[in-house]
Structure 1
Amino acid sequence: MDALGSSLKRMTDRVSEGSFATRANRTRGLQAIARELRKLGYELPAATSLKPKHVTALIRRWKERGIQDPTIRNRLGWVRWWAEHINKRSLLPRSNDNFGLAKRSRYSGNRARRADPELLDKIRDPRIRLALTLKAAFGLRREEALKFRPSASDKGDYLALVPSTTKGGRYREIPIIHPKQRKLLEEVRRLAGSGSLIPDGVSYRAYLQRYKSETRRAGIGRAHGLRHGYAQWRYLVLTGWRCPAAGGPTVEFMIARDAARDRAARLQIARELGHGRLDVTDTYLGRRYAAHVRLAAG
Structure 2
Amino acid sequence: MDDLTYDLQQLCRRNRDGSHATQDDRKRSLKLAAQQLREAGFRQMRATSFKGKHVEALLARWQREGLAVGTIKNRLAHLRWWAEKIDKAGLLPKDNTQLGIADRRYVTNINKAVELGPELSRITDPHVRMSLQLQAAFGLRREEAIKFRPGYADRGDHIVLKGSWTKGGRERSIPITTPEQRIVLQAAHQLAGAGSLIPAHKNYVQQRNVYDGQCKSAGISHMHGLRHQYAQARYRTLTGWQAPAAGGPSGNALTPAERVQDTEARQVISRELGHERTQVTAVYLGR
Query: Normalising to structure 2: TM-score of the pair?
Result: 0.88
Deviation at 1:50, TM superposition (A): 3.4
Deviation at 1:160, TM superposition (A): 1.9
- Determine if the alignment matches structure 1 residue 133 to structure 2 residue 154: no
Q: 2: CA distance between counterparts of 1:114 and 1:72?
A: 31
Partner of 1:93: 93
- Determine if the alignment matches structure 1 residue 36 to structure 2 residue 74: no
Assess if the C-alpha contact under 8 Å between 1:212 and 1:222 holds in 2: no
| CA distance 1:110–1:119, shift in 2 (3 Å) | same
Partner of 1:113: 114
Partner of 2:163: 163
Partner of 1:239: 239
Give 2:155's aligned amino acid: K
Partner of 1:191: 191
Q: 2: CA distance between counterparts of 1:223 and 1:194?
A: 26
- Determine if the alignment matches structure 1 residue 46 to structure 2 residue 47: yes
| CA distance 1:126–1:61, shift in 2 (3 Å) | closer
- Determine if the alignment matches structure 1 residue 23 to structure 2 residue 23: yes
Partner of 1:149: 149
Give 1:131's aligned amino acid: S
Assess if the C-alpha contact under 8 Å between 1:17 and 1:163 holds in 2: no
- Determine if the alignment matches structure 1 residue 251 to structure 2 residue 247: no
Deviation at 1:237, TM superposition (A): 2.2
Q: 1: CA distance between counterparts of 2:51 and 2:268?
A: 35
Assess if the C-alpha contact under 8 Å between 1:215 and 1:222 holds in 2: no
Deviation at 1:96, TM superposition (A): 1.8
Give 1:123's aligned amino acid: I
Of 255-264 and 194-203, deviating more is 255-264
**1:135-188 superposed Cα distances (whole Å, 9 cap, x missing partner):** 011111112111100112222332222222222323222222222212221210
Q: 1: CA distance between counterparts of 2:37 and 2:260?
A: 45
Assess if the C-alpha contact under 8 Å between 1:16 and 1:164 holds in 2: no
Give 2:116's aligned amino acid: A
Give 2:20's aligned amino acid: F
Q: 2: CA distance between counterparts of 1:232 and 1:142?
A: 18
| CA distance 1:83–1:159, shift in 2 (3 Å) | farther
Q: 2: CA distance between counterparts of 1:104 and 1:167?
A: 19
Give 2:176's aligned amino acid: I
Partner of 1:292: none
Deviation at 1:56, TM superposition (A): 2.9
Gaps of 5+ in 2: none
Q: Secondary structure at the match of 1:163?
A: coil
Identity of aligned residues (%): 48
Deviation at 1:87, TM superposition (A): 4.7
| CA distance 1:275–1:84, shift in 2 (3 Å) | farther
Aligned counterparts, 1:191-270, within 5 A? 191-270=191-270
Q: 2: CA distance between counterparts of 1:255 and 1:264?
A: 14
Assess if the C-alpha contact under 8 Å between 2:162 and 2:171 holds in 1: yes
Aligned length: 285
Deviation at 1:261, TM superposition (A): 2.9
Assess if the C-alpha contact under 8 Å between 2:138 and 2:230 holds in 1: yes
| CA distance 1:108–1:23, shift in 2 (3 Å) | farther
Assess if the C-alpha contact under 8 Å between 2:228 and 2:284 holds in 1: yes
**1:56-107 superposed Cα distances (whole Å, 9 cap, x missing partner):** 3321232234333232112112123323444544443333222222442543
What root-mean-square deviation, in Å, do the aligned CA atoms of Structure 1 and Structure 2 show?
2.4
